[in-house]
Structure 1
Amino acid sequence: MDPTQHTPNRAVRTRLRQLWDRLGPLRGRIRSRFAVDTRALAAVRITLGLTLLVDLLHRAGSMSLFYTDQGVYPLSVYEVTWGFYNFSIHALSGELWFQQFMFLLAGLFALAFIFGYRTRLVGLGCLILLFSLHARNPGVLNGGDRLLRVILLVALVTPLGERWSIDALRRGAARSSVASFGTAALLVQPLIVFGSNAILKHRGEHWYAGEALEIAFHNDVMAVYLGNVVVDYPTLLTVLNYAWVTLLAGSVLFLLVPVGRLRAVAALAYIGAFAGMVVTMSVGVFPLGLIASVIPFLTAPFLDTLSRRVPAHWVDRLPTATALGPFSRPPVERRLLDTLRERDHEFAASYAVSYAQSLLTVLGVLLLIWMLMFAAEDVSEFSVPDEIDYSHVDQQSWGLYAPDPSDAYSWYVAEAEMEGVIE
């Protein structure tokens, strides 16, 4: 074979390599905007875990009413209403004791998730139990429950246990930041929520006219705590209305474009707005999910400043790996990799690590495609291919208070006969 036949191929490869090198500065800028500090990821994990606990405690007060055969949604109704794709572990029994056990189990998983023990595996367990709980009685769900599911799902493809966790203590080393398709998906998801909601609100009459918040707060069911106070200040509500619309419509500009301290300031502004929702509106875990979704935008300069303000005696009390007792052993997969290396199977160990990293990359890409496709269908004339267009897959509809807030409220009425009642 003539060696000169390979010359064109070498020339093409050389030019492509040169082009790739020239794009280095641009690639660096893009990477910096999709990199997430691992401390922020730890804060996301803790916030999501606490949100799961808050949600469980809130639902536990109506456990018998909504999740047992003695309530308004017994298994006989569940089985008629929902099919295989709504399979719920909670529906294996309609007895109160079983629901109490499932709630306790979910709470234990949430606690383990908060402390970062086997973070990804435990997080997957939290997600399964959350889906199961939601499938048991979808009549008591809202957009906040969907947001919690989605953020938890997307977050699991990132290293949530890299810092501030039992896993980190056992590992002994941690990266300062991570940039991957997983972190890109985690950053893009809230932008899709905000952008989609801004587009849907634009189709209404009241949000961009500054009137929507006043209408929303006059709904007695939705306004709580400070919401019942600010309703008497229409000028303030108009200002807050325009500020909220600005945050939604400008989310890409405010959160994704800047880096460093400016990005952290923007993230804190969003967190402050969501905290305001907690004390003014009855929208379930929606504001808590929103807070968790923007925490990844907190950057190293802000977190460094925050860490310097932590009292030294607090830092000294932090546990070490030796204080973990039986939990101090490295994870099973780490021990297996070490065993392979000790037996001169370095190639197999390296292949396993590379395979896991590649799998997370693929999952990150698929999540990005999923969220972009279904969000585009929700706000435009784009249609998702029929092969994947299922209601259970379409979880990117973010129409809370859109196109306009409701000026009325409604409730479910369940007709039933009470056993043992003598008329």
Structure 2
Amino acid sequence: MSATALSVDTVTSTVREALGRRVALDRRALAAFRVSLAVVLLVDLVRRAPDLVAFYTDAGVLPRSVLAALYPGWNDLSLHALSGAAWVQVLLFVAAGLAALSLLVGYRTRLATVVSLVLLVSVQVRNPLVLNSGDVLLRRLLFWGAFLPLGSRWAVDATEGATDDHGVVGPATAGLLAQVVVVYATNAAVKLRADVWLRGDAVRYVFQLDHFTVLLGDVVAGWTPLLTLVDWLWVGMLLTSPLLVVLTGWRRAALVGAFVGAHLGMVLTLSIGVFPLVSVTGLLALVPSVVWDRVEGRLRPLASLSTAGSGRTPIADRVPALSHVARALAVCCLAVILVTNAVGLGVVAAPAGTPDRLTDRSWDMFAPSPPLATWWYEAPANLTSGDRIDALTGDPYERTRPTEAAARYPNERWRKFLDDARSEPRLRRSLAGFLCERWNRTHADGMTAVSLWVATERTDLDGPETVERERLGRYRCGAVRSGR
């Protein structure tokens, strides 16, 4: 063999080894990823449950007829849309909970992952109007988890890794890494299109959004120097997010820790649903082996759990063709992630006529600039007694600015639905019908009509802020569902 051939082989081997070390994920990290995924799924179910009737039945704000009108064909993609009855939704929620518990303990892990993914996509498709970026990321992490040996450590199964080999490398690990990094890198690219982030004012605007801020968010809203520093630090972290792949060892662990800390800060300050928890879940998969070696050195029982095996052979090992198909599918999906995000950023031109839903614009949270106004709904309703109440809260109606705009919404999903309803008359009609029926089912003093208003308070960092109100419509109870 010539010296040139030897040199090429050496370079190729070196590159392959370096790439493998960066794309490889520790089985213990995947186990932590699995446990966190299951916990987030359970939290998501618990948070959805109080609005089961409101969001997922024909008696709620989005009957299947309205879903079919707004999203033709989507009814056929959702198990939750097979029936508009509440008891069917309860059964599906229970099934999703059981699948998440199975995933948590690592029993029939791959099956539990796939079932959880199917039921998550089903409930999301049933009401796409209450979703945010966290929901999109959660289903994508579950998707990649279906290709990975999540049950090889700290699991009842522990079938795929009862060896001393902690590393896993392949198209699926590359896909999961790419998915996590793409969220940050894409968000950074979009944020740089507006100078408000580089000026250090963007986070100040975010914390002036009273319908988003909660807990410590209301406390730090006036701390200008701190918020400016957080702005620049966050932009810097987003720009360096590709280092999550490039770095290894303790340096990668430090950067992962910084992102985890940032997301935990979001939990304490902003009402943005499960997004921070889902983000932390994705980051857990990136924690390198040096961390898990140190953890197991301190916790000996954990080390024994990580190598225990049940002796059951994974189906992919029994049917090798399935493994080849899974790898090919993972490669294709990795390519799709990169291409759709490139199209969404405008780096690659989409073919003429490509629907917007096929280009990825899921990661533009507070970008290119944050919203510049706080808003809330008012729903004055007339009762047969002559009294007026706020149909959203059931309290006596007062035309004043709420002390906390975030308190006007039971949760972030209601806020998202009401935001969508501002521009869609059919959603406002369904909302009015739901509010009427919800009140009249439990009160003798019936509701006769409800009006919907949206109040908007423009953000001014240096001056007084004024409130403007817009009437969205007035609806007579009893005539709303019939369309009159």
TM-score normalised to structure 2 length = 0.74
For 2:131, the aligned partner's letter is L
Secondary structure at the counterpart of residue 279 of structure 1: helix
CA distance in 2, matches of 1:308, 1:155: 27
Are the aligned partners of 1:116 and 1:166 in contact in 2 as well (CA < 8 Å)?
yes
Where do 5+ consecutive residues of structure 2 fail to align?
Answer: 376-417, 423-427, 441-445, 449-484
Deviation at 1:46, TM superposition (A): 1.1
**Partner Cα distance (2:137, 2:160) in 1:** 31
2:262 aligned with 1:273, yes or no? yes
**Is the aligned partner of 1:397 residue 2:362?**
yes
| 1:109-124 → structure 2 map (5 Å cutoff) | 109-124=99-114
Q: Deviations over 1:156-187 (max 9, x none)?
A: 22222221112206974463111111111111
Question: CA offsets, 1:127-157, max 9 Å, x none?
Answer: 1111110111111111111111122212322
Picking from 345, 362, 367, the partner of 1:379 is: 345
- Which structure 2 residues correspond to residues 101-180 of structure 1 after superposition, within 5 A? 101-168=91-158, 172-173=162-163, 175-180=165-170
Distance 1:190 1:318, change over 3 A: closer
Q: State the AA in 1 paired with 2:312.
A: P
Aligned partner of 1:56: which letter?
L
Q: 2:373 aligns to what SS in structure 1?
A: coil
Superposition deviation, residue 26 in structure 1: 2.0
Change (3 A) 1:105 1:118: same
Q: 1:304 to 1:72 in 2, by over 3 A?
A: same
Give the match for residue 260 of structure 1: 249
Q: Say whether 1:57 aligns with 2:46.
A: yes
How far 1:382 moved relative to its partner?
A: 1.4
Distance between the aligned counterparts of 1:100 and 1:181, measured in 2? 37
Which of 357, 366, 388 is 2:332 aligned to? 366
Measure how far apart 1:305 and its partner are: 1.0
CA contact (8 A) 2:215 2:269 kept: yes
Residue of 242, 251, 267 corresponding to 2:232: 242
Q: List gaps (5 residues or longer) in structure 1.
A: 1-10, 322-327, 338-351
The alignment status of 1:44 with 2:33, answered yes or no, reads yes
Conserved 8 A contact 1:163-1:174: no
Cα distance in structure 2, aligned partners of 1:123 and 1:406:
36
Shift of 1:261: 1.1
Say which of 204, 208, 211 aligns to 2:194.
Answer: 204
Secondary structure of the 2:242 match is: helix
Tell me what 2:315 maps to: 333
Please list the CA deviations of residues 94-127 of structure 1 after superposition, one character each: whole Å capped at 9, or x if unmatched. Answer: 1111111111111111111111222222211111
Q: Which amino acid aligns with 2:250?
A: R
Q: In 1, distance between residues paired with 2:286 and 2:35?
A: 15
Q: Which amino acid aligns with 1:162?
A: S
Indicate whether 1:190 and 2:180 are aligned: yes
Instruction: Using the TM superposition, give the Cα deviation of residue 263 of structure 1 relative to its aligned residue in structure 2, in angstroms.
Output: 0.8
What residue is the counterpart of 1:20 in the other structure? 9
Contact 1:182 1:363 in 2 (8 A): no
**Cα distance change on mapping 1:357 and 1:404 into 2, 3 Å:** same
Q: 1:395 to 1:160 in 2, by over 3 A?
A: farther
- Separation in 2 of the partners of 1:263 and 1:394? 30
Any conservation in 1 of the 2:22–2:246 contact (CA below 8 Å)?
yes
Question: How far apart are the structure 2 equivalents of 1:422 and 1:33?
Answer: 62
- Tell me: CA distance 1:332–1:39, structure 2 relative to 1, closer, same or farther (3 Å): closer
**Displacement of 1:392:** 5.0
Deviation at 1:223, TM superposition (A): 0.7
Contact 2:22 2:248 survives alignment (8 Å): yes
More strand by share: 2
Equivalent pair of 1:162/1:174 in contact (CA under 8 Å)? no
Q: Select the structure that is richer in helix.
A: 1
SS in 1 for 2:285: helix
**CA drift at 1:400:** 0.5
1:293-312 map, 5 Å = 293-310=282-299, 312=300
Any idea what SS the aligned residue of 2:168 has? strand
CA–CA separation in structure 2 for the residues paired with 1:204 and 1:94: 44
Could you report, residue by residue, the CA deviation over 1:28-62 in whole angstroms, capped at 9, with x for unpaired residues? 11111111111111111111111111111111111
Residues 161 and 307, structure 2, Cα contact 8 Å, conserved in 1? no
Contact 2:159/2:314 (CA < 8 Å) preserved in 1?
Answer: no
Displacement of 1:297 = 1.9
Q: Which residue of 1 aligns with 2:372?
A: 407
1:79 Cα shift?
2.6
Q: 2:141·2:176 contact (CA, 8 Å) conserved in 1?
A: yes
Answer 1 or 2: higher relative contact order, Cα 8 Å, separation at least 6: 1
The number of equivalent residue pairs is 387
Q: For residues 377 and 178 of structure 1, what CA distance do their matches in structure 2 show?
A: 30
Residues 372-422 of structure 1: per-residue CA shift (max 9 Å, x gap): 1011111124123469x4555444531000011112245336224446758
Q: For the structure 1 residues 291 and 303, does the alpha-carbon distance in structure 2 shift closer, same or farther, using more than 3 Å as the test?
A: same
Contact 2:344–2:360 under 8 Å retained in 1: no
SS in 2 for 1:297: coil
Aligned to 1:81: 70
Asked if 1 retains the 8 angstrom alpha-carbon contact of 2:343 and 2:359, the reply is: no
Judging changes above 3 Å, is the alpha-carbon distance between structure 1 residues 96 and 329 closer, same or farther for their aligned structure 2 residues? farther
Partner SS, residue 179 of structure 2: helix
- Distance in 2 (alpha carbons) for counterparts of 1:61 and 1:331: 40
268 and 75 in structure 1: CA distance in 2 versus 1, 3 angstrom threshold: same
Mapped to 1, the partners of 2:304 and 2:151 lie a distance apart of 21
Provide the aligned C-alpha RMSD in A: 2.7
